Amino acid sequence: MRRCLFLLLLNVVVGFDESGFLHWFTSELREVCDAPLQFAGTVPTYLENATFVQTGPGRFSFGDTRFTHVMDGYSKINTVAFGRGAARYTSQFLRSKFLNESMAKGRIAPSMFVGSVVPPQHWGPAQALGPNDNNYIKMRQIGVQKLLLADTMISTAVEDNFVTFEHDIRSRLLSLSVPGVPWKDDLEPKADMCMLGTMAHGHEDPDTGIFTGAMGCFGMAGSYHVVFTIRPEAPTMRHPLAKISLPKGRSASYMHDFAATPRYIVLIAEPLFMDLPKVLEGAPLGRGGLRTTGDETLFQIVNREDGSVRTLSAPGFIFGHVVNAWEENASGDILIDLTWYAANNATTLGWFNRWQLEYLQEPGVRESWPRSKVMRYRLPANGSVTWELLFPEEKGRNDFETPKINEQYTGLKYCVSYFMQFHSDEYRDGGRNSTIISSSPMGAVGIAKRNLCTGEVMGWYQANEYPSEIQFVPDPSGTAEDDGVLLGIVFNAKANSSYFHILDARTMRMIAKADLPIKVPFLIHSSFFPAR
């Protein structure tokens, strides 16, 4: 065994029901280990001996204290391990130092959060000096080491079952607050603070297994970004590729993601910055710990061979995720597709504050919140950056996030993408939808499929059911870009339960479904680890 607009107005649109939306963000304290799953339908044989992993917040309060932001909950890991004709499900909380300290205190322990804790705790500097190892963004693997990664330079090593906590990997500077092992390199000067990390969405070379990440640092001589690589045989050692100084007076950017092509790593240095004095005063990130300005967004283009850097700029924006990036052979231009938000808005902070529970719980605020856009930026070999809105025929009604593609097309020109869609379309007729819905509630959550080459619009939506991010798994015998399946976990508010589903990625029809033994709250990113 392994260890283990107002809602009342919007509801007149036929077919939509978001009545259980807020229940998606409530705790599930039960844990299970290796629970057998019974699938109805056909599970593709190419999933055998593979593991699906998805992490996210599973608990939103402790004792008399509670979180006020969706993404501050206690990390919980969900796995579906496929065997030959069978599958098993595990869901367990990450036994981090943060969880252990909370258990010892009987309440939420000091740490850095996006939202406030209720009642107010007045932790001051203790917040920044807390364990801060509540990692839940995405499971990765470097060599044979499984790592649960986030947007900091604290990485959590877990055992081969993807669930059992082993230790944290962190800066030597954090040795007093975070137990574990230090990074075995000298990438961080002793006097500098390298708190920000683009790790969860780091890039893995499929041929060599080399992982590329980035971090943002605050130094005595100014702020800077570092791009580094980690080799599969030594997952605790970072090798510098480029150190990128920032213009005088500009801080390191918070970057959840970056772009990668065969020849380049592109940091998208958005005008979203950590306010260190505010953080040390105890301000949550969404309540003063982060700030956004009217500065430009910088594209820092790093040559993966020699580490040379060139920088281009565009009017400031904030982005959530990169859909894909590639190089255009004829021109040498780099194209980047990404989810886009307006900068210089202290209320929204791009995508951050949309997930404050006080905003989600108020229908008028929730429905009027700015929606994401999908934009394409062209970084020319010579000249100025240009950009365009993708899916313009949808007139800004779509609201896409957490993009997924066939990863065989990462860094290459592509056509097909999949998204979580808030304000979902109805997707009638087995996934096809000839008419884009003009007004559905934010809590109508679906899975969107878009083909940039053919204009195909497809998706999946079920009333009062809430799918988290999906994972595309290609069919090894397929020839088309969308030959494969989508794996994911859905909260069914009608039954206060959850299920695991498999969709045909070409038709968007469900081909298999298994009920899960416990409810699964809102999840963050999914990962798939094929049989080795």
Model confidence at 1, in pLDDT bands (50, 70, 90)? very low
Per the listing, tokens 């088309």 go with 480
**What is the predicted pLDDT for the residue at 54?**
99
* Residue 321 annotated as lining a ligand binding site: yes
**What is the predicted pLDDT for the residue at 162?**
98
List, in order, residues 6 or more apart from 155 with CB less than 8 Å away: 135, 147, 148, 149, 168, 169, 170, 199
- 147: which 2 tokens? 């790592």
**What is the predicted pLDDT for the residue at 327?**
97
Query: What span, in angstroms and rounded, lies between the C-alpha atoms of 466 and 463?
Result: 8
**Helix/strand/coil (H, E, C) string of 288-334?**
CCEEECCCCEEEEEEECCCCCEEEEEECCEEEEEEEEEEECCCCCCE
Work out whether strand 181-182 and strand 165-170 pair parallel, antiparallel, or are unpaired: parallel
List, in order, residues 6 or more apart from 40 with CB less than 8 Å away: 512, 513, 514
Per the listing, tokens 């902070």 go with 349
347-374 per-position pLDDT tens digit: 999 999 999 999 999 999 999 999 999 9
- 8 A C-beta contact, residue 46 and residue 505: no
* Residue 203 annotated as lining a ligand binding site: no
Per the listing, tokens 């943002």 go with 216
- 313: which 2 tokens? 């700029």
Residues 60-87 as b or e (16 or more Cβ within 10 Å = b)? bbbeebbbbbbbbbbbbbbbbbbeeeeb
**What is the predicted pLDDT for the residue at 433?**
52
One-letter amino acid identity for 185? D
* Residue 69 annotated as lining a ligand binding site: no
Residue 11 has pLDDT above 50, yes or no: no
- 8 A C-beta contact, residue 376 and residue 403: no
Model confidence at 527, in pLDDT bands (50, 70, 90)? very high
Model confidence at 8, in pLDDT bands (50, 70, 90)? very low
375-409 per-position pLDDT tens digit: 999 999 988 999 999 999 998 899 999 999 999 99
List, in order, residues 6 or more apart from 441 with CB less than 8 Å away: 7, 10, 11, 13, 16, 18, 21, 367, 423
**What is the predicted pLDDT for the residue at 2?**
40
Query: What span, in angstroms and rounded, lies between the C-alpha atoms of 332 and 330?
Result: 6
> Cβ-count burial of 434 within 10 angstroms (0-12 exposed, 13-18 middle, 19+ buried)?
exposed
Please work out, in degrees rounded to the nearest 5, the angle formed at the alpha carbon of residue 291 by the alpha carbons of 289 and 293.
170
Per the listing, tokens 């079952």 go with 161
The rounded mean pLDDT for the chain is 94
Helix (H, G, I), strand (E, B) or coil at 479: coil
- 8 A C-beta contact, residue 254 and residue 290: yes
Percent of the chain with pLDDT over 90: 87
* Residue 256 annotated as lining a ligand binding site: yes
151-163 per-position pLDDT tens digit: 999 999 999 999 9
Tell me the sheet residues that pair with 404: 418
Residues 257-285 as b or e (16 or more Cβ within 10 Å = b)? bbbbbeebbbbbbbbbbbeeebbebbbbb
> Cβ-count burial of 531 within 10 angstroms (0-12 exposed, 13-18 middle, 19+ buried)?
exposed
- 8 A C-beta contact, residue 140 and residue 147: yes
Model confidence at 469, in pLDDT bands (50, 70, 90)? very high
Lowest mean pLDDT among 156-170, 332-346, 428-442, 443-457: 428-442
What average pLDDT does range 288-308 have in this prediction?
98
29-78 per-position pLDDT tens digit: 999 999 999 999 999 999 999 999 999 999 999 999 999 999 999 999 99
**What is the predicted pLDDT for the residue at 431?**
56
Query: What span, in angstroms and rounded, lies between the C-alpha atoms of 217 and 318?
Result: 19
* Domains, the chain, with CATH or none: 7-529 (2.130.10.10)
Closest CA to 527 of 130, 53, 100: 53
Q: What is the DSSP letter of 363?
A: H
One-letter amino acid identity for 449? K
What average pLDDT does range 453-460 have in this prediction?
95
For 340, the enclosing helix (H) or strand (E) is strand 334-342
121-132 per-position pLDDT tens digit: 989 998 888 999
What average pLDDT does range 157-177 have in this prediction?
94
201-212 per-position pLDDT tens digit: 999 999 999 999
